[in-house]
Amino acid sequence: MEAADPRNSVPPGRVTPFFGFVAAVAALAVLLSAGPLAALAGRLAELPAAFWTMAALAVVCDARPFVPPGRRQSSAVFPSTCFTFAILLGWGLGPAVAVQTVAVVVSGWRMGHAAWRSGFNAAQYACALAAASAVTALGPGNIFAGGRLRAADVAAVGAATAVWFAVNYGLVSTALRLRFADRWWPGVRSGLGYELISTGSLLLLAPVLVAAARASAALIPLVLVPLFAVYRMARLAAEQEQLGALDPLTGLPNRKALLAEVAEQVHLHAERSARDEPDAHLALLLIDLDRFKNVNDALGHAVGDRLLIEVSARLAGAVGERDLLARLGGDEFAIVSTGLAGVDAARATAERLVAALAEPVSLDGLPLDVGGSIGIAMYPEHGEDFATLMRHADVAMYDAKHRNDTIAVYAAESDHNSAERLGLLADLRRVLEAGPAGSAERDAPVGARGGDGAALPAALPAAAGGPVDAGRPAAVGPGRWWARRHRERAEPDHPDDLINRIVTAADPIRRRAAEPAAEPGGSGVEGPVPQAGPARGDADGVGRITMYYQPQVAIATGEVVGVEALLRWRHPRRGMVDPEELIRVAEQSAVMRLLTRRVVDDVVEQLAKWAGAGITLRAALNVSVRDLHTGEIADQIADRLARYGVRPDRLQLEITEGALMADPRRVLATISRLHAIGVAIALDDFGTGYSSMQHLRRLPLSEVKVDRSFVLGMADDADDAAIVRSMIELAGALGLRVVAEGVEDERTWRLLHAAGCDVAQGWFYARPMPAGELTDWLARYRPLRPAAREAESRPPQAR
């Protein structure tokens, strides 16, 4: 009777209003039924055998009410309703209230109700019967006094039935609201349909009982046959529903049953929490078997099914009696652990489950080692409904897998798919789909190329003296067709269109007048770059994507030999989004494809603009593992290089060791295609992954980048310095160029020079900056050579 116990008490703070309402209902019931009950004493001898038969059946049937499986006892069906409503229609309010009260007392005793609860039930039924009696009194008179049943009689019965249900359900709903405050409505709303079908059917059967009683009292017990049939049908339907909530393989409850159990237990634990009980916590544990797929692939699904049956039996033996173990599908199981004092109790349950899975499972003499990762979500700390608890337990389970641990409790910082990050992903998609200013020109066919191979615009605005491209919409609304036609008639300054474009592109003054305002991070090469974003991105409230570039300097000569392209996103509400967060959000979705395409387009276009300005640089850009799993990036890079006339050796792709090890075969195929095009490949974050000498020997690499985590510490840590020197020597022996990132002071710079490092990048030289600022920086930069610096640092007499 554990489920009934909480309903026999009232949460603290709700006692006075709730019991005040109970007392008011009881007083109203006494007021309404006192007179009819007093008159009943003189009528007992006159009541026919039909009445006594109905009264006896009402009490006997209520001694065993029907409680559907999976529902609370408050949803029980009481057959006495049918008989007492028939007594009301046939013999009045007094006999009906008396029989109903006796039936309530009997059913309350059988179901373990508290005295106040049985009293309230009797009072609510008395009020409902009194309201129905008042409705019948407004009708044509005694409904069954005459011979034939008239239409007005049927209407009166229907109205009395509706009033009985409305009063009864209204009183119960009000009591629930006073007991549970804001938690009352979901239960009332979800139970309305069930009550309409069950209780409404019993009420509508009452007129049939009265009609049978008019013919003969012997016919009344026959109503037990349809009642029993209804009972059996309800029982069979409940059993079918129960079977539908079981997993056919293991016999455990399935997801549907788990949802119902969590909803029920959340309601119960909300009551406990309102009473400040210590065991008011609920835990949802999600288990995923670690090596089950290997068993299926190696031994077949039949062995996998036998393994699942054995695992389910072990888990069932490890959970408590009050806990529910369910199989969600595949190799996922869930446990609802109830009545917990806190997260430590949930961890103890998880540790028992881990211990149950620790021993190998022997099938046909073959021991199979199957462990599990368990995620825990607690009610109410991590959610107050099934969907939230399930999602958070799933996050915790994957967190345990990533940390190579067996148990993890949900933590918000581990939730990479939180609502905030999903919103960030949606904003990122919007800003990428909007595109940068001038994206229409970028996708238009390239009209001509200069002598250095840089692409020249296919058309220039009329204001700059160039012809308007008739195939591109002008910057006017669709209704301003006359403005477009007027612009199309504008004559170019030079009769030769090709010569005009070449002259305009070669003249910085004319080019600045022809081009729109430069974008930060890569649209212009002349002058400072404004920080305002394009109208499309800012208008949508998602900010703008910008490419920043950090110089890479040859240590021995001080010459700037390249740049690394770094992604930046300034969000109007979040500010500058952390690049690692940006990549982490995008990498697990299709947005990564859009982001890579945008970065490649921006970088290649910027290389073309630098080439047109006489700046020869190699740009390195990072790609994710998703990019390397398909050949799309190789096709895109080849297309963009050809479109803008950029030499392939001006572009370099950086891949991490983690991306390399994720799927070496597919990654190698993509890298080989890029190498065939002429694009250089660099191994980024060298030393932090698991790449072997075999990979370094087989890959068409041109460069390795020593991770900043080693470079930053080499000035103060002899171990870091030794690691960096070893990496440089190894790369040199393999004929690879070495780039050190994270060079932030002169001492580190000198140590790298002494170790033979080729290139360095870091704040010692320059911070990452937009393309326009980089152009200004290059104009001011003077090469910094270690030998010259050493000569400057010597005393004058020693020179």
The residues carrying an active-site annotation are 741
Q: Which residue blocks in 6-76 are alpha helix, DSSP H? A: 15-40, 49-62
> How far, in Å, CA of 579 to CA of 588, rounded?
15
What gap in Å lies between CA 760 and CA 559, rounded to an integer?
11
Alpha-carbon gap, residue 210 to 459, rounded angstroms: 94
Tell whether the torsion through CA atoms of 130, 135, 139 and 143 is positive or negative: negative
Phi, psi of 770 (to 5 degrees): -60, 165
> What angle is formed at CA 536 by the lines to CA 532 and CA 537, rounded to 5 degrees?
65
In terms of Cβ atoms closer than 10 Å to its own Cβ (0-12, 13-18, 19+), residue 503 is middle
Asked if the bond preceding 768 is cis, omega within 30° of 0, the reply is no
**DSSP category for residue 94:** H
Please give the helix or strand (H or E) that residue 672 lies within, else none. helix 664-677
Residue 604 and residue 618: Cα distance in Å, rounded?
10
| Nearest residue to 546 (alpha-carbon basis) of 528, 524, 522, 526 | 522
Report the alpha-carbon distance of residue 560 to residue 616 in Å, rounded: 9
Question: What is the DSSP track for 265-334?
Answer: HHHHHHHHHHTT-TT-EEEEEEEEESSHHHHHHHH-HHHHHHHHHHHHHHHHHHS-TT-EEEEEETTEEE
Report which of 665, 669, 598 is spatially closest to residue 631, judged by C-alpha positions: 669
| Ramachandran quadrant class, 767 (left: phi over 0; alpha: psi -120 to 50; beta: rest) | beta
Give residue 274's identity as a one-letter amino acid code.
A
| Cα 620 to Cα 436: distance, rounded to the nearest angstrom | 21
d(CA 11, CA 47): 45
Two tokens, residue 237: 């339907």
Sign of torsion over alpha carbons 726, 730, 732, 733: positive
Q: Dmax over Cα atoms in the chain, in whole Å? A: 137
Rounded Cα–Cα distance for residues 318 and 23 (Å): 47
Q: Assess contact for 438 and 516: CB atoms under 8 A.
A: yes
**∠ at Cα 210 (206, 212), nearest 5°?**
115
Q: Taken in order 232, 234, 239, 240, is the CA torsion positive or negative?
A: positive
The answer to whether the beta carbons of residues 315 and 353 sit under 8 Å apart is yes
The token pair that represents 364 in the structure block: 């046909």
Of 515, 430, 442, residue with least CA distance to 472: 442
Residues near 792 by Cβ (< 8 Å), separated by ≥ 6? none
C-alpha distances in Å from residue 292, one per residue of 223, 240, 306, 355: 56, 31, 12, 17
Residue 319 phi, psi dihedral angles, 5° rounding: -85, 160
Residues 6+ apart with CB under 8 A from 611: 452, 453, 454, 645, 646, 650
**Which parts of 515-618 fold into alpha helices (H)?**
535-539, 579-587, 591-612
* Cα 26 to Cα 33: distance, rounded to the nearest angstrom: 11
- CA dist., res. 585 & res. 364, Å (int): 45
